[in-house]
Structure 1
Amino acid sequence: MRTPPVVNSPDTAAAPRGRSMAALFCGAALMNAAMAMTSAVATIVAGDTLGAAWGAVPNSAGVVGTGVGALVLTWLAGRRGRRAGLVLGYAAAALGAGLAVVAVAVGDVAALIAGMLLLGLGNAGAQLSRYAAADLYPAHRRGFALGLLVWAGTVGAVGGPLLLDPAGAAAHRLGAAAMTGPFLAAAVAGTVAAVAALGAPAGRVRVAASPLPLRDLVRAPAARSALSVMVTAQVVMVAVMTAAPVDMHMHGHGLGAVGVILSTHTLGMFAVSPLTGRLVDRVGARPVMLAGLLSLAVAALLAAVAPEGEMALRAGALFLLGYGWNLCFVGGSGLLARDLPAAQRARVEGAVDAAVWGIAAAASLASTLLLSAGGYPALAALSCVLLAVPLVLVLFGGDVAARSSS
């Protein structure tokens, strides 16, 4: 008598998904912590060596590495599977952190920049892991999965800076320069993330036999709306956030006040991501993205008009800036994960992430120049002009896919 096939029960199906989600969450949290630590120290080291004007160069290299890594790891995921891409990205980050340790010890800024580029590859893996999480769930629950992986950034963004002093002290006890400590910790984090990624989904992403040119793919309504919203939100968020500490320092505020403002901003960016994901699942991506764009516009205006002594108002503006970005980022990612054809999804996801991070590098460098030229009012006015473009596109651009999801 022939034995009937065994059908997995919901419990047995949930167990592998739970392990995969734990692996993805662990990797993303560790890499966010590594980037938070190394970005802060790389700026200080480069500024001390090259002068303050060039302090942002290693960080920009890390952002560029993230953009390039999004394309490279997406290509690899189509040939060797998502697990292979994540393991490679995190291993490259560990190698980059090790290279940066040597660079800081000998004062080689060029090697430090190379190390930050490799760290960017790991950051790309952490960012792309949200799509790997979404693929584990049915379409109506992908927003929750995306939000949960974005929320992993909270662990890294909060925990990473807290490790700076202990990592420096540990390096000093080992006889090394204190500034090498955060990079040593990042090397450990990258290594552990690579090991954890062995539990990530192994399947290859689906790729069409005859893929359309990428320029044709991004003309699809879902891709066009997600790209415009996510890129614009990233530019506005990075520009206003980067300029805030500079503006506060120019008006006599100390590091304590700056730290409070940035912590409030980070809280808005990450802390409520699971709720945003559930909101995408319940009401659709389009209204979530619209709410995000409007929140960013209000935040930019509040930051511009807030009196210098009104720290509560400025903190509220930076929190709203972070949450507006969160709505746009999770909403746009959810639109891509739910409404693109499976065979084309991974290529577009990788291309959109590459564009977001590549443009973010330019926005970071341009924001302080604009602040010097016209102050916060000019920055806020430009932000509102930029936000009008995706707002009109989502409202009137014939985004059928986004309308149907809502």
Structure 2
Amino acid sequence: MKPMFALFMGVACLSTAVVGLSTTAALIMVEHAGAAWSGLPSAVLVLGSAMGSLSSGALAARFGRRLVLVLLYGAAVTGALVSFAGVLGGSVLALVAGMPLIGFGNSGAQLSRYTAADLSPEHRKGFALSTMVWAGTVGAVAGPALIAPAAARAEAVDLPALSGPIAAGAIVVAIAVVAVATLPRGLAVPAEGAPERERMSVRNPAVLGPLVAMVGAQLAMVAVMTMTPVQLHEHGQGLDVVGWVLSAHLVGMFALAPLSGWIADRWGGRAAILGGIGTLTVAAVTVIGAPDSHHVGIPVALFLLGYGWNLVFVGGSSMLSRDLPAAQRSRAQGTVDAFVWGTSAGASLLAGQLFGLGGYVLVGVAGGLCALAPLAVLARRPVVREPGEKAGLR
């Protein structure tokens, strides 16, 4: 199996499993613990992603990305099996206990985009990593689609219906393990004699710029996205409207990733980030100006919100794949991803508080400010290039 295809398969399978598992876990929590606890599995999964990203960078720098990807995806299989056992035993504690391990697998999917960049020539790194982001489209479509048939299959063999999607998630992640196991041995291990323990600081301009941009975009995206279904529900819209509005958002988040990669390769990761910040700002202004428009305003805002996030995510990832010495990249990439995922949990909680204080408009204002805040750092932080690299590739 060719390395790029193996990476793509792994990310597609992982994203499919994560979407299906998190959705099913939320439904199980509603049944057994009430709606107030429905967000707990996803929050724990996100925290697991943050912890996995933080450790994966250092491990990849020491042992290579192939081994780390196999271990992270293997942890996700274990987590899905733990959650499956919890459903069979009627234990929501066991269900939730499996979620951090599934989050570890999700951090492996994030690591895959940097691995794809490492396997590609300098002028194609942005596009290569964007194809891994695009693989999330598979999960956005296939994850929800697997839930009903998997539940029906479980009932057919006298198991709890919602145990079916959990078991299906374990099988899909196992396919991801097999895919990444075919990658070349020692992939991305630092060369012998390289200063792999060279100190990495988030204050390094090559790290700080992408870091603040990606965190700001994540805060803006998660806050507005989380409160959109609540806003639609409070204005009398049904699940059909909620579904297609969120579909527009997911298309923006994933489907146009190759375009973002092309922009990053053609004009540089910094240009992609600035374009993303502008797009996120337009999305926030649309939310503020048309908070009740479920036909046009909110769908357009959610699409722009997704694509603005995508531009920043791909642009920032591209900079982290190019602007650092090879010995520092894995640690820096893992650290940035840990920050990004760690902010997601906080953004969800904060968004609820803001919505309670000032409604959807206040959430939109906060999202716009989060998107714009990184400009203060980007404006005074020059792009750092390694000797001999052409400026046009940035």
Q: Which residue of 2 aligns with 1:269?
A: 253
Distance in 1 between residues matched to 2:133 and 2:11, nearest whole Å: 8
The question of 1:134 aligning with 2:117 is answered yes
Find the partner of 1:326 among 291, 302, 310.
Answer: 310
Q: Which residue of 2 aligns with 1:345?
A: 329
Q: Which residue of 1 aligns with 2:84?
A: 101
CA contact (8 A) 2:196 2:327 kept: no
Q: Which amino acid is 1:139 matched to?
A: E
The question of 1:240 aligning with 2:224 is answered yes
Please give the residue correspondences for 1:385-404 in structure 2 after superposition, counting only pairs within 5 Å: 385-401=369-385, 404=391
Find the partner of 1:180 among 146, 152, 163.
Answer: 163
Alpha-carbon displacement from aligned partner over 1:236-259 (angstroms, at most 9, x marks no partner)? 101100100011111111000000
Alpha-carbon displacement from aligned partner over 1:14-45 (angstroms, at most 9, x marks no partner)? xxxx8000100000000000000011111121
Find the partner of 2:283 among 285, 289, 299.
Answer: 299
Distance in 2 between residues matched to 1:286 and 1:221, nearest whole Å: 12
CA contact (8 A) 2:118 2:188 kept: no
The question of 1:314 aligning with 2:292 is answered no
Q: Which amino acid is 1:369 matched to?
A: Q
CA positional deviation for 1:194? 0.4
Q: Which residue of 1 aligns with 2:195?
A: 209
Please tell me the root mean square deviation across aligned C-alpha atoms, in Å: 1.7
Q: Which residue of 2 aligns with 1:30?
A: 13
Alpha-carbon displacement from aligned partner over 1:305-352 (angstroms, at most 9, x marks no partner)? 215244222111100000000000000000000111101010000000
The change in CA–CA distance for 1:313 and 1:399 in structure 2 (over 3 A counts) is same
SS of 2:379 mapped into structure 1: helix
Q: Which residue of 2 aligns with 1:10?
A: none
Alpha-carbon displacement from aligned partner over 1:166-210 (angstroms, at most 9, x marks no partner)? 111111112111111111111001111101111224324328537
CA contact (8 A) 1:261 1:318 kept: yes
**Which deviates further from its counterpart, 48-57 or 258-267?**
48-57
How many residues get paired? 387
Q: Which amino acid is 2:270 matched to?
A: R
5+ residue gaps, structure 1, are 1-17
Distance in 1 between residues matched to 2:73 and 2:196, nearest whole Å: 30
CA contact (8 A) 2:199 2:328 kept: no
CA positional deviation for 1:382? 1.6
SS of 1:199 mapped into structure 2: coil
Give the fraction of aligned pairs with identical amino acids, expressed as a percent: 46
TM-score if structure 1 supplies the norm length?
Answer: 0.92
The question of 1:376 aligning with 2:348 is answered no
TM-score if structure 2 supplies the norm length?
Answer: 0.94
Distance in 1 between residues matched to 2:122 and 2:106, nearest whole Å: 26
The change in CA–CA distance for 1:275 and 1:210 in structure 2 (over 3 A counts) is closer
Distance in 2 between residues matched to 1:364 and 1:373, nearest whole Å: 15
Alpha-carbon displacement from aligned partner over 1:52-103 (angstroms, at most 9, x marks no partner)? 2221111111001111111222232223221111111111111111111111
Q: Which amino acid is 1:194 matched to?
A: V
Q: Which residue of 2 aligns with 1:358?
A: 342
Find the partner of 1:198 among 178, 181, 193.
Answer: 181
Quick check: which one's helix share is greater?
1
5+ residue gaps, structure 2, are none
Q: Which residue of 1 aligns with 2:208?
A: 224
Distance in 1 between residues matched to 2:196 and 2:181, nearest whole Å: 30
Q: Which residue of 2 aligns with 1:54?
A: 37
